[in-house]
A and B are shown apart, each in its own frame.
Chain A
Amino acid sequence: MTAVDAPLAVRPVAPVQSKLRRGLRRYGLPAIGALVIIAWIVVAAIAPLLSRYLPSTVDVAARLRPPSSTHWLGTDVLGRDVFTRLIYGTRISLTTGIVVVFAGALIGTLVGGIAAYARGRVEELIMRATDLVLCFPPIILAMAIAAALGIGTTNTIIAMLVVWWPKFARLARSLVIVQRSQEYVEAAIVMGLSPGRILLRHIIPNSIGPLIVLVTLDVGNAIITFAGLSFLGLGVIPPTPEWGSMVSEGRELIEQWWVAAFPGFAILTVVLGFNFLGDGIRDWLDPRSRRR
């Protein structure tokens, strides 16, 4: 009798792997990502200690010098030190990326959460509005809004926020819909808690995992988009050191490659850092993808 119940297929034997290798695979890239991000945050914080120049110091006599011991990453058209501008630029790129994603996530989560919890006409209205924003290509919409509002860091952030919240609204709505039929929500209703309290204190904390993944993966995305807008002249106001506009200033200077190459490489490392980290958090939170 028991023979019938025995499994028909033999499970494939897992390949023998040393503990170290397995650990490295699971935590290696995310750890590298986190280290890169922390390193950049430290650089942003102590930028004035790392350089004896100021990002705005113009020295026309020393213009377009290649990298050397006095100017580690060379100088630009106006003789400003590329290394100095790069480390000060970290502040703007990191801040804008993080601000856009967190504010976008906050707005989107609230809007999506309210939609899912209110149901009915409110939900219909909110989700149609979300669809409308999503049917525009984000970069074009952000470009048009940024151009209309006028150049400046704050305006560019606003323009990006307009296109940023809908994806969080969609995700949050689907997460809340799953949660709202759970028993603990019914219990909270029975206890007479207000809908707002239930949403904010009970439902949203319980569905935060996937939101964190999207946030981490998205910071890199936001940094690239902001730098792209800046590159097009729709970001920071010129003398401000910012990576995208630094690449733009050096884009004609193919012989003097250091002006554009280093700031762009900085963007690549930060974005890679966030993607490594986001990938790791996703694997960690989603057992299904971890098994693969």
Chain B
Amino acid sequence: MALLATLIIFLLANTVPGDPVLAQLGDLAASNKEFVAEWRGKWGLDLPLWQRYLIFLRQLLHGDLGISISSQRPVLQDIRDFAPATLELASISFLLSLIVGIPLGIIAAVRRDSWIDHLARLISLIGVSSPTFWLAFIMLAVFYGGLQIAPGPGRIDAIALPPHSVTGLYLIDSVLVGDWETFRDAAAHLILPSIVLAAATLGLITRTTRASMLESMQQDYVRVARAKGLRSRRIVIGHILPNALIPIVTLGGLAYANLLTGAVLTETIFSWPGLGRYTFRSAVTLDFPAIMGITLIVAIVYLIINLLIDISYALLDPRVVR
């Protein structure tokens, strides 16, 4: 299956009717036949397709994703440079949507049909229905342009130096060296993009939490707990919530994978130097080694997160193990 996937990625990247020569070299250079032939030879674009695939596979086995045509650097190194920015942004906005979404979903389920339930439904529908790129613009226009209480695009101020790189995550790196100035700067720059990115995820998590809570509320053990005279807070937190967690974890995990891989629009508008922008640049310049590398990495991220979700089932519900 994995082998088949690499073949599909490869064919897809190599047989589409776009020509990387034109995308990369520009009109002037592309009209020079000799130059084009030499360039094709350099990137192995003159070999037959099956030979190129074998070369690609052999490199892959050595953990080598090839060299990016547009940045002229190994794809793996490019990805390693761009990944931390995305990891930081995706994780913060994921935390944000959990912290707001789960309590909101619980309250909406417990107080069903109250104004707070309707409010939660409205918030999640608006979150799912807002185009991210527009939401990003509105946030920037209001909080950066209008009120001037938030910093503009980028990870830190344009004149500031990034912290000494250990993990590549600015928040952690600046704490490690005790540089609180940079920490505050990086944290401030994270606020707007992570709110924007969290909007859609927040909606999904709220709705799933609400539906799952309602489902487990109708179970017999809840009636038993009520009959025993337990306080309702105790019933909700101690009895209903643990049983409602599995769908929430499943959806949450997939949402996190989506955040890690799908932040193209948010990163573009906030000039965030992450994987999303790298992906976009590679797709537009038809940089095949880079596209293949990203797709593979993305597939691996999904695999790992699915595995973690499966493992968490066993932790959440001991019955699964048997």
Q: Closest chain B residue to A228 by CB distance?
A: B265
Q: Is B128 an interface residue (CB 8 A)?
A: yes
B119-163 contact mask (Cβ, 8 Å, vs A): 1 or 0 = 000000110111111110110110011000000000000000000
Complex-state Cα separation, A183 to B153, whole angstroms: 62
- Which residue from B131, B279, B299 sits with its C-beta under 8 Å from A227? B131
Q: Is A265 an interface residue (CB 8 A)?
A: yes
Q: Is A77 an interface residue (CB 8 A)?
A: no
Complex-state Cα separation, A232 to B131, whole angstroms: 13
Q: Is A148 an interface residue (CB 8 A)?
A: yes
Q: Is B208 an interface residue (CB 8 A)?
A: no
Which one, B59-67, B86-94, B256-264, B309-317, is touching chain A?
B256-264
Contact between B284 and A224 (Cβ–Cβ < 8 Å)?
A: no
Complex-state Cα separation, A54 to B190, whole angstroms: 41
Which one, B71-79, B170-178, B290-298, is touching chain A?
B290-298
Q: Is A15 an interface residue (CB 8 A)?
A: yes
What is the size category of the interface that chain B forms with chain A?
Answer: 35 or more
Q: Closest chain B residue to A139 by CB distance?
A: B262
Q: Is A49 an interface residue (CB 8 A)?
A: no
For chain A, residues 98 to 147, give those with C-beta under 8 angstroms from any C-beta of chain B.
Answer: 128, 132, 135-137, 139-141, 143-147
Complex-state Cα separation, A172 to B299, whole angstroms: 25
Instruction: Known A145-B16, A272-B126; judge A247-B137 contact (CB<8 A).
Output: yes
Q: Is A271 an interface residue (CB 8 A)?
A: yes
Q: Is A156 an interface residue (CB 8 A)?
A: no
Q: How far is the CB of A247 from chain B (nearest CB, A)?
A: 5
Contact between B8 and A251 (Cβ–Cβ < 8 Å)?
A: no
Q: Is B26 an interface residue (CB 8 A)?
A: no
Contact between B129 and A264 (Cβ–Cβ < 8 Å)?
A: no
Complex-state Cα separation, A227 to B126, whole angstroms: 17
Q: Is A292 an interface residue (CB 8 A)?
A: yes
Chain A interface mostly = helix
Q: Which of B211, B284, B286 has the most CB of A within 10 A?
A: B284
Residues of chain A within 8 A (CB-CB) of B18 are: 147-150
For chain A, residues 205 to 258, give those with C-beta under 8 angstroms from any C-beta of chain B.
Answer: 220, 224, 227-228, 231-234, 244, 247-248, 250-251, 254-255, 257
Besides A136-B295, A148-B17, 10 more A-B contacts (Cβ < 8 Å) are A141-B295, A144-B13, A147-B18, A147-B286, A149-B18, A224-B131, A228-B264, A232-B280, A247-B133, A260-B137
Question: Could you list 16 A-B pairs, sorted by A, with CB under 8 Å?
Answer: A135-B299, A137-B261, A143-B279, A144-B12, A147-B283, A149-B16, A149-B17, A228-B131, A234-B284, A244-B131, A247-B134, A251-B133, A255-B145, A257-B145, A261-B141, A272-B125
Residues of B that sit less than 8 Å from A by CB? 4-5, 8, 12-13, 16-18, 112-113, 125-126, 128-135, 137-138, 140-141, 144-145, 211, 214, 223, 258, 261-262, 264-265, 268-269, 279-280, 283-284, 286, 291, 294-295, 298-299, 302
Residues of A that sit less than 8 Å from B by CB? 9, 15, 25, 128, 132, 135-137, 139-141, 143-150, 220, 224, 227-228, 231-234, 244, 247-248, 250-251, 254-255, 257, 260-261, 263-265, 267-268, 271-272, 275-276, 279, 292
